[in-house]
Structure formats: C-alpha cells, structure tokens
Structure 1
Amino acid sequence: MTQRLYIDVHVVQTVPPANLNRDDQGNPKEAVYGGVRRSRVSSQAWKRASRRHFDAQAPESDRATRTKRITNELATRISLTTGLESEDAGRIAAALLAQLGLSQGKKAGDTAYLLFYGNAQLDAVAALVSERAADLAALDEKALTEAVRELPVAESFRTGHPVGVALFGRMVADIPKLNVDAAVQVAHALSTHETQLEFDYFTAVDDQNEQDETGAGMIGTIGFNSATLYRYATVGFAQLADNLGGDTEAALDALDRFVDSFALSVPTGYQNSFAHRTRPSLVAVVVRNDQPVNLVSAFEEPVVAEAGIQANSARRLAEEHITATEVWGDTPLYEAASHTFTTGEPRAKDTAETLTQAFGEPVAFSDLRTTLRARITTALEEQA
C-alpha cells in the first residue's frame, strides 16, 4: 500500500469580465470571506472543466461519462456490436442494469441520478452478452432477467476506472458497492479581493426590420464581474493509485493529466459573450506526506488594488506558504512553481523574489510537470 503523499496545486489566475459559473438568478456566484463579498466559482464547475480538458486529449474508450441515460447508452453499444434492433438491445440493456438496483427516474429509461462511469466499463458490460445477444432477445422478460442474473455487471463498474472516476470518485447513495472514493479535493475558487456585481445591458437589432423600425429587437442584461482568483486542489496519491488497481504508473499519468488540466482549463459559462479564457499567472505544486494545506488564509484580508492585483496576490500566497512552513515546521518533499513574474519588472520584482524564496527558481510549466513526476517516483522508491 502506498504511504501518504498529497500533491497540493495552488493557482492564481486573473479573468476579465465574465460569468464563469452562474447562480439561480443567472449572476456570477459569490461568497463572503474576510468580511467582504468575493467572486466564486464552484468546485463542481472547475472539476467538470478539468475533466473535459483531459478527456478531449484521450481516446474515446478512456473517457468518462456522467448521465442518467446509461440504459440507452448500453443499448446503443449492444446494438452496434451485435446488430440487434434497438428495441431488443434496449430490453437486454435494461435487464443487465436491473441487477445493480439503480433507482429509476421519472422519464422512462432514465436513472434517478447521474451515474459516472468509464466508457470502457460500459463496453465491458456490453461484451458480456455479445456472443448470445440473439438468443437473449428471443426470451420473455422473466427468462431474460434470469439468464443475465449471474453476469458480473457490477464487477465491470468496480474495476478499470478511467481517469475521471479515479480522480473525482463516484457516489451512489443506495448502491454502496458502486462507490469510488475520490482521490481529489477541489476548493471553490475565490477572488483574492472584494468584487462588485455588474450588469451588461445589451440590445440586438432585427436585421430584417432595421429599415422599417427603430430600436432594438431584443433587450436584456447579463451579470458579470472580473477577478483575480485563488484556486486550490489536492490529490491523494495513495487513493488515486488504489482507484487504478494499484498501478503506480497509471496513477502518475493520471496525476500529470490532472495538474495539466486543472491549471489550463476554464469553465465555459457565457464564454461566447465574454471570451474569458486566460492562463494562470502562477501555478505552484507542493508535495507533502502529512496533510493537504489550503493557503486561502493568505487572502482573508482582501488584496487592495494598487498597480493591479495579481502580483500582490501571488506574493501573498508565497508569503503564506513561507509562514506555514516556518510556524508549523512543515517540510514539504517537493515544491516548485511556474509563473509570469520577473525581477526585471519593477512592479513585480518583490513578487518574483518572494516566489523564489517560497518555491525555488521558477520553471516552465512542462518542466514543473516532469520534475513533479520524478520527485514522486523517488518518494515512492524511498518508501519502498
């Protein structure tokens, strides 16, 4: 069993006017922290953005899907591999999944909740009946249910997890055997400073009527704000390796993909209206063997704009890390950072120096990922 290793990922990122993650009123989510209102992006929003980012770079079979329509998805696979009509494939799919005891939704064929699974896992379930699908289709409902009762459907979902499920886990309240403990915790992204909700008042002209009528064909508003965000996530490497069947190399690959995708992904809310995609100004990783440490307390006192906010925010984060290691006696196994601040810029000089004191000389993001993998490999060898 891999001993405790936690990989903390700290990100400072500035986004322009945007509505990354809306609340029930359609406005950007917010939270009060340090006595002032902050911009907030929920952990779920950035988890999904990260998952979509690394899935886009993976083969279809290595991706994960979260849906209520698992019965229809399984039926489609059965139909494609066996040539059965969709109705017969649907009956077999329903019989196979019935043994899991999934609660049924209001719509026929849907489950009551979203189920997170790997595409390869569902392919494996479809393969269980590929050689006898025609015979199964000829059975009545009772006989069909009995014929597939002993097939290892649940086992197909308990092994061979894709990166998404291995990282973020799966919770099925009424079927504990399908649960997968998450290897990743993601904090809600929070602005390092106070923010104000603003509104974009927009009009749209009807192109067909602009010669005959004056005024707008449509009027509306969109809430937005702009913010320098602190983002944090932590990966429990032992849990990640366990979720991947004890495969250390697969866990190292999954960790690398997560760090890349967490750092570079952005939620897509209202992206066509705001084109808000930016890169982080700072990505820092810290490998620990005691416990994860969120450094959001660096911003409990909101950063005040002087010549911008992001440099002060990055410096605050570095100072908090230095303080934590000094006060609590923390000795991280590894720490490194990629950032955009240089000593050649007078306004960023103090920030760059403090970041170097906290995380060492800055490295390119690709090098950060490479050295992170090497350092964890070394730590695992030392543990062995």
Structure 2
Amino acid sequence: MPFLDIHAIQSVPPANINRDENGSPKTAVYGGAQRLRVSSQAWKRAARREMESSSADIPESRRTKRLPEEIAEEIATRAPALAEHASAIAQAALSNIFSVKSTPKKKDGRERVSTGYLLFLGVDQQARLVDKLLAAQADLLGAAGNSKNLEKVLKDLKLRDTVATGHPPAVALFGRMIADDPSLNVDAACQVAHAISTHAVEAEFDYYTAVDDIDSEADETGAGMIGTVEFNAATMYRYATVDLRSLADNLGGDTDYATETAIAFARAFLLSMPTGKRNTFANNTRPDFVLLSLRDDQPVSLAGAFERPVGGESGHVATSVKRLLRHHAKQDEAYETAPVLSTATYPAWLSDEEAGFGTGLPESQPLSSALDAVRGKINQLMGAADA
C-alpha cells in the first residue's frame, strides 16, 4: 500500500496569501512561536485548478451550489420542448440523487436556484446525468407538472449511478461529503497539511495611498484614498500525501490512471499558489527545495523538524532544508523504517559552499525527472501488489 509524501520548502516574499475573517494573514502558534499559516483548503483548490488546467488527461470538476441551474440550462438548450419544465426537472433530479432540496431566489432580476451546500462532481458526471435525463425526454414531458409522476420517472432512471461511479481525479483525491446521503460520500485519498512558516513571524502593515489623477492635475494636494493592508513574509514548510491504493479504488481500480493522477497532483501541488492578494503582492514563487518520498509503511510529515523555530540572519531556506533532511533521516533511524524511494529537486545555489551544506544534500534532479522516477517505482509497487 504505497504512499507518496510530498515535502517542500518555499520562500514567499511580502504577501497575504490566505486571509482570516479580519483580512489578516492566517497564523498558528507552533512550538510556542507564531507562524504564518496557509490553510490546506486554500492550497487544495489552487492545486486542483492547476492540475485540471495544465493536463489534458485530467478532466474538470466543479464544486458548486448552482448545479440545479446549470443542469436546467443545459436541458433547456438541448431539449427546447422541456424548457418550461427544465428547472423543476433539474431540482427533482438532484433531490432524487442527493436527497438535497433546492432553493429558488431572485437575484439580479432573475431566478437563481441553488442547493443548500456545495456539491462536488465531475463535469463528465454532470454530462452523463443530463444525457440520461434527455434519453427519457418523452417520459419527462408526460410527467411534467405532476410531482409524483415526475418522481416515479426519475426513480426508474437510476440517476445515482451517474455520480456514484466514474469520479474525476479531483473527487478521487480530495473526497466528497454529502451530508444528507453518506452513501454517496467519497473518502479522500489525499491529505494536505496547513503550510506553516519554519520560523516565527510578525504581522506588518503597508500604509498605502492612491492619487486622484484629475485632482493631481489641478494641483490639489493629498491622496484620493488611503488605507492599510496587512502582510508578512516567510519560508514555509508544505506537505501533502497520497494514498495510492485508495486513489486507485476511488478511480474504479485503474492503477495506471491512479499513478498518473498522483503524478499530476504532485506537480500541481508544488507549482500552484493560492490567489489571495496576488495582484497586490505578486508573490509568485516556486519551492526552493522539493523532497518526494515513496513509502510502503505509512505517510510521514516532517513538520516536527520546525517545532523549534528556525532562526538566523543569513536567511531561512538553507537552514530549513538542513533541518528537514536531518529530521527525515533521524525519524527513519528511530523507527527502523526507510522510504522505498526518495528524490529531490532544488536549484544549484543551495549546494554552493555559501549555503554551508557540505555533505548530506541529496542529488538534485529536474522536477520532471524526479516525477518520472516516482512514476516508475509506483508502477513497480502497484504491479507487484496486484500480482
């Protein structure tokens, strides 16, 4: 039962990646020190969107309350005869599948129909659902206007099958919870930790002014607007893990697809960035150090390397990488375990003498080569397990 652990050390300049209810960067106290924190949910969404947009082999998924509206619009477009009843059919269909009620509301001069909570499914699953409805167009038209007859037609269609199987990679990775019908839940095959700074951080404030162009041309003094925005800067430890057997199960037992999904997620997780205040700070960095570990015992976070905050005036990246690697080795030594495969990616400057590393830094591979090595070992392990 292999697990893919993804570790990253990433330096981020002044930024407000993930805000709390007051607009401040999220934080956490760890090891008695305040740390910058980026929530797992923020990075999951960024990774999901990166994964789906950058790979033609990863179909799209959606998490939305407006599924009734989406389905109704497609029904009305593809079957004009059902247009008058499309909204009622869509709402009844989702009630039949998820046991969830839809709520019509007036907004922007039109009726908006939404469910009580976000529903997560693939675009392909939604398309199959609409196809199944339109295949019964005559029956639906005959039952339109009579809720009991409509319920009977929908029940006979067995619509649940369209969302209970054929999950997209994002649902297989991150799971799905349907509060009103746990039988449609999908257990996540991926865990993503809250990213934390490896060192203590304090909030800072940017006092900004905006000039009124017209007033300034008229020799008016003063700012057209003033305000403050809170930010901080940090070197973060990021971690995620993928249970490859669970991922394959969620993808219908397709181990090859599970492997490619895990590789696509690893790349997307490492190269994605949540979009909070991105236009204000342009904090578009990539990891300074990546460690990919394939394990056959259990997933292992290395956050404990930073329980004692990293300090020093010469920067935090090199010291954080040293701590990470030492903790990685000492953990396996203490528990008499070892990764099946470990591979690293980092820029050349980290191995320079100025970084003070000496020996102990693993050989670096380009990210694509490191992922290829992981892919090959996963295929070997999964193949042996299936034999």
TM-score when scaled to structure 1?
0.93
1:291 to 279, 288, 298: 298
1:198 to 182, 193, 204: 204
Deviation at 1:9, TM superposition (A): 0.4
User: 1:230-250, CA deviations, whole angstroms, 9 ceiling, x for partnerless residues?
Assistant: 000010001100000000111
SS at match of 1:153: coil
User: 1:329-383, CA deviations, whole angstroms, 9 ceiling, x for partnerless residues?
Assistant: 11211111111245762222416x3222xxxx21110001111000011112333
Higher mean C-alpha deviation, range 281-290 or range 45-54: 281-290
User: 1:28-53, CA deviations, whole angstroms, 9 ceiling, x for partnerless residues?
Assistant: 00001111100000000000000010
Deviation at 1:76, TM superposition (A): 2.2
Q: Is 2:77 aligned against 1:72?
A: no
Measured at CA, do residues 343 and 17 of structure 1 come closer, stay the same or move farther in structure 2, by a change above 3 Å?
closer
Deviation at 1:16, TM superposition (A): 0.5
SS at match of 2:85: helix
Distance 2:116 2:312 in 1: 47
State the partner residue of 2:146.
141
Distance 1:90 1:104 in 2: 10
Q: Is 2:130 aligned against 1:126?
A: yes
The answer to whether the 8 Å contact 1:77/1:123 transfers is no
State the partner residue of 2:16.
19
SS at match of 2:17: coil
State the partner residue of 2:180.
174
The answer to whether the 8 Å contact 2:255/2:382 transfers is no
Deviation at 1:319, TM superposition (A): 0.5
User: 1:280-328, CA deviations, whole angstroms, 9 ceiling, x for partnerless residues?
Assistant: 0111111111111110010011110231110110111001001111111
Deviation at 1:67, TM superposition (A): 0.4
The answer to whether the 8 Å contact 1:91/1:137 transfers is no
Q: Unpaired segments of 5 or more residues in structure 2? A: 106-111
Distance 1:369 1:231 in 2: 17
Q: CA-atom RMSD, angstroms?
A: 1.8
Give the partner amino acid of 2:271. L
Distance 1:44 1:24 in 2: 15
Measured at CA, do residues 324 and 137 of structure 1 come closer, stay the same or move farther in structure 2, by a change above 3 Å?
same
Measured at CA, do residues 215 and 244 of structure 1 come closer, stay the same or move farther in structure 2, by a change above 3 Å?
same
1:214 to 215, 221, 242: 221
State the partner residue of 2:378.
376
Distance 1:201 1:103 in 2: 47
SS at match of 1:195: coil
Deviation at 1:61, TM superposition (A): 8.7
State the partner residue of 2:100.
102
Q: Unpaired segments of 5 or more residues in structure 1? A: none
Distance 1:199 1:134 in 2: 63
User: 1:101-141, CA deviations, whole angstroms, 9 ceiling, x for partnerless residues?
Assistant: 11445846211111111000010110012234255235223
Percent identity over paired residues: 44
Distance 1:209 1:343 in 2: 50
State the partner residue of 1:262.
269
Size of the aligned set, in residue pairs, is 376
Q: Is 2:7 aligned against 1:10?
A: yes
TM-score when scaled to structure 2?
0.93
Distance 1:93 1:106 in 2: 12
Distance 1:122 1:297 in 2: 42
Measured at CA, do residues 77 and 61 of structure 1 come closer, stay the same or move farther in structure 2, by a change above 3 Å?
farther
Deviation at 1:84, TM superposition (A): 4.6
State the partner residue of 1:184.
190
